């Protein structure tokens, strides 16, 4: 296997895996590399709602429960030259000490670093198992991770150990991030030309519910029970979107849809928010669909895993972030996870996305150190 992390990353960038595409060829390519490294490889398939085949990979070397799981995802957000890229987004272009390309930062660079770190150790050296998880559809509500949690036979015992999510943090230690809550509420009317007065305007049926949601919006931004000072900002917005898809204003809209998004935090009663929203929808004769509920990630800042990570990364204090990772789904089973990865989240999803080469090379040493401490030296 290629163990030059920059070259390996460039090769990964050259294989497009944006959300609208199947990642199966790329995932099978990575599975082949893991097979070369003598990992036991499990494939967890699923199909995206638009019918595209997706594939997550769970790989293990060593036996027994627990150990260390290094967590990456193979999908990226889309990229096209006409979006303003000054280089081919899938060429892996070097400019000084930066590698440009879609996924360089989020997160094919980290995936390459994990494989290079794993290549430094043989299975006979491991006192505890090393697992590598590469999910699909992280960018679309952690769908691949949810499938892994519910179906993977290799992840189930690994979940009793430590997890390191390799998303970009500039190799700083993140011990918590916000969760995600998405709901869709639908009001039904009846289409008719407005001159006839025979239609039923679905937007009018939605208004009483929206009035309740205005009160909810104000509550979550002001009340202490929805506040967590570990985060910046310490509140999350009750974000509302409205659409009736009506082709003309002289036609009564037959459907009105309210989309709600909220970033949950540790200690916030997400179930209570869902129940209150469901009760309002029922009261006003509307249909509610819970689209996605992702758990916030939280590992105590004084835990053994966090202390170890601070030593490995030579940093003093863990932090929190407002964005989410596959931890939204994986934390349902794996209770001790952190986020540590090369690159800056500010580069993720951007035109001319890049990763700093020093960060990329350092991350190989960081992940190798995690493997040595947890899997070789059996350190807690």
Please write down the HEC assignment for all residues of the chain: CCCCHHHHHHHHHCCCCECCCCCHHHHHHHHHHHHHCCCEEEEEEEECCCCCEEEEEEEEECCCCCCEEEEEECCECCCCHHHCCCCCCCCCEEECCEEECCCHHHHHHHHHHHHHHHCCCCHHHCCCCEEEEEECCCCCCCHHHHHHHHHCCCHHHHCCCEEEECCCCCCCCEEEECCEEEEEEEEECECCEHHHCCCECHHHHHHHHHHHHHHHHHHHHHCHHHCCCCCCCCCCCCEEEEECCCCCCCECCCEEEEEEEECCCCCCCHHHHHHHHHHHHHHCCCEEEEEEEECCEECCCCCHHHHHHHHHHCCCCCEEECCCCCHHHHCCCCCEEEECCCCCHHHCCCCCCEEEHHHHHHHHHHHHHHHHHHHHCCCC
The verdict on whether omega for the bond into residue 107 sits within 30 degrees of 0, i.e. cis, is yes
Phi, psi of 204 (to 5 degrees): -65, -40
Domain termination site, one of 237, 263, 294: 294
Q: Which tokens belong to 366?
A: 């960081």
pLDDT, position 82: 93
What is the spatial distance between Cα 99 and Cα 92, in angstroms, rounded to a whole number?
Answer: 6
CA distance to 30, 103, 110, 174, per residue, from 164 (Å): 19, 19, 11, 10
Say what the pLDDT of residue 32 is: 98
Q: What is the tens place of the pLDDT at every residue in 205-235?
A: 999 999 999 999 999 999 999 999 999 999 9
CB atoms within 10 A of CB 279: 12
Average pLDDT score over the chain: 96
Q: If 0-12 CB within 10 Å is exposed, 13-18 middle and 19+ buried, where does residue 27 land?
A: buried
Residues 114 and 54 in one domain: yes
Q: Are residues 160 and 190 in the same domain?
A: no
**Percent over 70 (pLDDT), the chain:** 100
- Indicate the number of domains in the chain: 2
Spatial separation of the C-alpha atoms in residues 42 and 154, rounded to whole Å:
7
- Domain end (from 261, 278, 294): 294
Interval 36-66: pLDDT, tens: 999 999 999 999 999 999 999 999 999 889 9
Instruction: Out of 270, 294, 318, pick the residue that ends a domain.
Output: 294
pTM for the predicted model, two decimal places: 0.94
Q: Which pLDDT does position 124 carry in this prediction? A: 85
State the average pLDDT over residues 348-377.
97
pLDDT of residue 122: 87
In angstroms, the CA 138 to CA 294 distance is: 12
Which residue range(s) make up the domain with 340?
5-177+296-376
pLDDT value at residue 60: 97
At 380 the pLDDT is 84
* Range 331-342 average pLDDT: 97
**140-159: average pLDDT:** 97
CA dist., res. 365 & res. 344, Å (int) = 18
Length of the chain: 380
**Whole-number Å distance between alpha carbons of 201 and 256:** 9
CATH number for the domain that contains residue 253: 3.30.70.360
Residue 170 tokens read as 């500039």
Closest CA to 76 of 42, 103, 105, 53: 103
* Ramachandran assignment for 257, one of left (phi > 0), alpha (psi -120 to 50 degrees), beta (any other): beta
Same-domain pairing of 274 and 356: no
CATH number at residue 45: 3.40.630.10
* 162 shares a domain with 54: yes
Q: Are residues 11 and 138 in the same domain?
A: yes
Task: Using alpha carbons, select from 278, 285, 283, 284 the residue that is nearest to residue 260.
Answer: 278
Instruction: Compute the distance between CA of residue 336 and CA of residue 61 in angstroms, rounded to an integer.
Output: 20
Q: Are 233 and 319 found together in one domain?
A: no
pLDDT at 2 over 90: no
Place of tokens 């199947």: 22
pLDDT attached to residue 1: 83
Same domain, 314 and 267: no
Share of the chain above pLDDT 90, in %: 95
Domain match, 187 and 163 both: no
For tokens 């691949």, the residue is 144
Q: Are residues 135 and 92 in the same domain?
A: yes
Contact present, 264 and 188 (Cβ < 8 Å): no
Would you state the pLDDT for residue 288? Answer: 98
**Bridge partners (DSSP) listed for residue 293:** 181
Q: 30 — phi, psi (to 5°)?
A: -65, -40
pLDDT in tens, 245-261: 998 889 999 999 999 99
> 292-313, pLDDT tens digit by residue?
999 999 999 999 999 999 999 9
166 with 219, same domain: the answer is: no
86-126: pLDDT as tens digits: 999 999 999 999 999 999 999 999 999 999 999 999 888 99
Same domain for 43 and 157, yes or no, is yes
Q: Are residues 285 and 332 in the same domain?
A: no
């Amino acid at each position: 296997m290629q163990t030059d992390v920059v070259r390996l990353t460039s090769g990964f960038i050259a294989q497009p895996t944006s959300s609208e595409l199947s990642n199966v060829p790329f995932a099978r390519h990575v599975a082949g590399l893991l097979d070369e490294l003598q990992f036991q490889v499990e494939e967890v398939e699923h199909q995206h709602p638009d019918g595209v085949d997706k594939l997550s990979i769970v790989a293990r070397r060593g036996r027994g429960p627990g150990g260390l799981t290094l967590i990456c995802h193979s999908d990226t957000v889309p990229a096209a030259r006409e979006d303003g890229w000054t280089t081919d987004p899938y060429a892996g272009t070097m400019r000084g000490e930066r590698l440009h390309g879609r996924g360089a930062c989020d997160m094919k660079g980290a995936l390459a670093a994990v494989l290079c770190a794993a290549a430094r150790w043989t299975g006979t050296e491991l006192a505890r198992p090393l697992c590598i998880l590469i999910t699909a559809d992280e960018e679309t509500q952690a769908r691949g991770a949810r499938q892994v949690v519910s179906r993977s036979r290799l992840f189930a015992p690994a979940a009793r150990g430590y997890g390191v999510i390799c998303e970009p943090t500039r190799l700083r230690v993140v011990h918590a991030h916000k969760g995600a809550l998405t709901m869709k509420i639908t009001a039904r009317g009846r289409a008719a030309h407005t001159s006839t007065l025979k239609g039923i305007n679905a937007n009018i049926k939605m208004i009483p519910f929206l009035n309740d949601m205005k009160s909810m919006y104000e509550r979550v931004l002001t009340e202490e029970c929805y506040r967590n000072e570990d985060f910046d900002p310490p509140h999350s917005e009750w974000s509302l979107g409205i659409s009736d898809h009506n082709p003309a204003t002289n036609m009564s809209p037959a459907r009105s849809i309210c989309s709600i998004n909220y970033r949950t935090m540790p200690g916030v009663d997400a179930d209570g928010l869902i129940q209150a929203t469901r009760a309002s929808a029922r009261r006003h004769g509307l249909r509610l669909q819970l689209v996605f509920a992702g758990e916030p990630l939280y590992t105590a800042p004084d835990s053994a895993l966090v202390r170890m990570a601070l030593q490995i990364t030579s940093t003093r204090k863990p932090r929190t972030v407002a964005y989410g990772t596959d931890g939204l789904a994986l934390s349902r089973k794996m209770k001790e996870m952190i986020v540590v990865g090369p690159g800056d989240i500010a580069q993720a999803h951007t035109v001319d996305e890049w990763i700093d080469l020093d960060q990329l090379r350092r991350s190989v040493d960081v992940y190798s150190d995690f493997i040595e401490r947890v899997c070789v030296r059996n350190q807690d």
